[in-house]
């Protein structure tokens, strides 16, 4: 899952990036409103962690922009203000949650997981597609009831496909989602094929079907049709 952190406190941003990367997220970060505006115009994110008090703008205006762009990202507001008016304004504009500084990183992570479950997996810890079951908390995948040992990237790839089943995903979008925004500068996306080949093989070894269709010249589609 890919997260954009919009926070002007460099020390806090560094701590957030370090912690969330250790938790398995792909993290991008910016320090001001202008950089954040450029990012949300160019890239897609699963979650935006958004500070309201930015040096060159108001985080709530960025939230309005995300809604105008019809972004699918969940939004978690972080603010130094424990103001009821700010909370109501953020939630009224479509934010998913609000947390006041200072906060424990573990609590922030729990709220991120909750948003991801609600938005992508109907609030469930376990994602089921045909004979495939993925437990997002335990990072565990079962096929026909048998444990499949996947690398972190393979499991993220599987979850990304299941979350976007029946949609064609370009190689560029897969690379950016799993490795970060800088992948838009990559000369080749051949490495994605290696991960997909391994994922197909491991699922097949447990008797699972191949739901990954290659859309030649574009990317891949995960479908049972």
Question: Do 106 and 214 share a domain, yes or no?
Answer: no
pLDDT at residue 139 in the model: 86
- pTM for this model (two decimals): 0.84
Question: Do 98 and 144 share a domain, yes or no?
Answer: no
Contacts 24+ apart (CB under 8 A), 88-93: 89/60, 90/52, 90/60, 90/63, 93/60, 93/63, 93/64, 93/67
* Helix, strand, or coil (residue 16): helix
- Judge whether 76 and 50 are in contact, CB under 8 Å: yes
Question: Do 85 and 61 share a domain, yes or no?
Answer: yes
Of 86, 120, 154, which marks where a domain is finished? 120
Q: Is the pLDDT of residue 71 over 80?
A: yes
- Which CATH number belongs to the domain containing residue 34 in this structure? 3.40.50.2300
Domain enclosing residue 41, as ranges? 2-120
Question: Do 96 and 39 share a domain, yes or no?
Answer: yes
Find the mean pLDDT for residues 179-190.
83
Q: Residue 31 — very low, low, confident or very high, per pLDDT cuts 50/70/90?
A: very high
pLDDT at residue 85 in the model: 81
Contacts 24+ apart (CB under 8 A), 106-114: 108/16, 108/49, 108/76, 108/78, 109/19, 109/20, 109/23, 111/76, 112/3, 112/20, 112/25, 112/47, 112/49, 112/76, 113/137
Question: Do 22 and 131 share a domain, yes or no?
Answer: no
- Which CATH number belongs to the domain containing residue 159 in this structure? 1.10.10.10
Of 96, 120, 144, which marks where a domain is finished? 120
Find the mean pLDDT for residues 163-183.
90
Between 118 and 202, the higher pLDDT residue: 202
Question: Do 9 and 104 share a domain, yes or no?
Answer: yes
Q: How far apart are the first and last CA of the chain?
A: 26
pLDDT at residue 66 in the model: 95
Find the mean pLDDT for residues 108-130.
88
pLDDT at residue 214 in the model: 92
Q: Is the pLDDT of residue 212 over 70?
A: yes
**Segment (H or E) for 85:** helix 84-92
Residue 181 to residue 164: CA distance in whole angstroms: 19
Structure token pair of residue 28? 């991008």
Question: Do 113 and 212 share a domain, yes or no?
Answer: no
Question: Do 87 and 164 share a domain, yes or no?
Answer: no
Q: Residue 89 — very low, low, confident or very high, per pLDDT cuts 50/70/90?
A: confident
Q: Residue 186 — very low, low, confident or very high, per pLDDT cuts 50/70/90?
A: confident
DSSP state of 181: G
Find the mean pLDDT for residues 53-67.
93
In the chain, what percentage of residues exceed pLDDT 90? Answer: 72
Most confident option among 93-102, 114-123, 180-189? 93-102
Q: Is the pLDDT of residue 206 over 90?
A: yes
- Judge whether 47 and 37 are in contact, CB under 8 Å: no
* Helix, strand, or coil (residue 217): coil
Is cis: bond before 55, omega within 30 of 0? no
Residue 219 to residue 192: CA distance in whole angstroms: 10
Counting the structural domains of the chain, the total is 2
pLDDT at residue 80 in the model: 81
Q: Is the pLDDT of residue 148 over 70?
A: yes
Question: Do 88 and 143 share a domain, yes or no?
Answer: no
Question: Do 95 and 178 share a domain, yes or no?
Answer: no
pLDDT at residue 225 in the model: 67
Find the mean pLDDT for residues 109-124.
87
Of 90, 120, 150, which marks where a domain is finished? 120
pLDDT at residue 199 in the model: 95
Residue whose token pair is 């089921």: 128
Question: Do 36 and 110 share a domain, yes or no?
Answer: yes
Question: Do 67 and 9 share a domain, yes or no?
Answer: yes
């Amino acid at each position: 899952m890919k997260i954009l952190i919009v926070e002007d406190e460099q020390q806090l941003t560094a701590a957030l990036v370090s912690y969330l990367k250790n938790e398995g997220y792909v993290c991008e970060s910016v320090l001001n409103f202008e950089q954040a505006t450029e990012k949300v115009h160019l890239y897609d994110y699963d979650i935006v962690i958004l500070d309201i008090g930015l040096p060159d703008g108001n985080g709530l205006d960025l939230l309005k922009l995300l809604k105008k762009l019809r972004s699918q990202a969940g939004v978690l507001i972080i603010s130094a203000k424990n103001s009821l008016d700010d909370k109501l304004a953020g939630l009224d504009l479509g934010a998913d949650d609000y947390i006041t500084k200072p906060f424990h990183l573990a609590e922030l992570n729990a709220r991120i997981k909750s948003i991801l479950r609600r938005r992508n997996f109907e609030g469930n810890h376990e994602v089921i597609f045909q004979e495939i079951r993925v437990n997002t908390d335990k990072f565990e995948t079962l096929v026909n009831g048998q444990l499949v040992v996947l690398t972190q990237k393979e499991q993220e790839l599987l979850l990304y496909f299941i979350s976007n089943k029946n949609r064609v995903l370009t190689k560029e979008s897969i690379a950016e989602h799993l490795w970060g925004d800088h992948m838009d500068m990559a000369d080749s996306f051949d490495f994605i094929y290696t991960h997909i080949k391994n994922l197909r093989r491991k699922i097949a070894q447990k008797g699972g079907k191949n739901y990954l269709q290659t859309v030649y010249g574009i990317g891949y589609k995960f479908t049972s049709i």
